[in-house]
Amino acid sequence: MLVWSTGAFTVNLLAFLTHTALEWLDEAYRDVRNSAPSRRTFFENLPTLLQFIPFDNWQHLMQFMLNGRIE
């Protein structure tokens, strides 16, 4: 049980650090997150977009989420 909880803690910590780094360093990510009604909404929509629309890279995904189209 201790090994599982340590692993879960580590994964949660890595996710938190990744999201914090993106918030600080990626202006497009910050803009998209601020335009979403909630953090939960952002992360609920992300898998659906990735499943149905192939994006060339992270910036194209953020641009689509912000503008509703890929330019």
Average pLDDT over the chain reads 87
- The pTM for the full model equals 0.70
Are 40 and 46 within 8 A, CB to CB?
Answer: no
Q: What is the mean pLDDT of residues 16-43?
A: 89
Expressed as residue numbers, the domain containing 41 is 2-67
Could you give the CA distance from residue 34 to residue 28 in angstroms, rounded to a whole number? 10
Closest CA to 64 of 44, 49, 52: 49
**Residue 61: CB atoms within 10 Å:** 19
Total tally of structural domains belonging to the chain: 1
Q: For residue 52, is pLDDT > 70? A: yes
